[in-house]
Amino acid sequence: MKDYKNYYLVQAPPEDVYLALTNPLTISLWTGAEAIMSTEPGSEFSLWDDSIAGRNIEFVENKKIVQQWYFGDQPGESIVTFILHADKNGTSVELRHTNIPDSDIADMIEGWNLNYFGSLQDFYED
């Protein structure tokens, strides 16, 4: 199992980035796919037509999101944490993703960089 940590700059205030990560209508705008999302801890979520699915664990409005991402029958929970920091150019998002199956790590890093945060950054680009 592998862990991944990175920082991404999004050219929008933390309130907008939080909304983009938690509101299903806004998620659909930047992903181009239907999203199922709630800020209720314990609720299930689905993004990119069920390519990403899991359970919401914790929300601190405009500051932090913690989710469990599902990877089939893997032992241990794969936890994704987004921490939003105000930045002079928008929002610095600290991403921590733990317990990624070894066989999925390269695809996950590419997915985070290109699809997930790449799409989010493009959505807020000037």
What percentage of the chain exceeds 90 in pLDDT?
A: 86
DSSP E strand stretches across 11-120: 44-47, 52-60, 64-69, 78-87, 90-100
Q: How many domains does the chain have?
A: 1
Task: Check which CATH number belongs to the domain holding 40 and give it.
Answer: 3.30.530.20
> Residue 112's domain spans which residues?
2-124
Res 125 pLDDT > 80: yes
Which among 47, 92, 90, 91 is positioned nearest to 67, based on CA atoms?
Answer: 47
**Average of per-residue pLDDT values in the chain:** 94
Q: CA-to-CA distance for 119 and 68, rounded, in angstroms?
A: 21
Res 74 pLDDT > 80: no
Q: CA-to-CA distance for 5 and 120, rounded, in angstroms?
A: 17
What percentage of the chain exceeds 70 in pLDDT?
A: 99
Can you give the pTM of this predicted structure? 0.93
Among all chains, which residue has been given the structure tokens 């493009």? 122
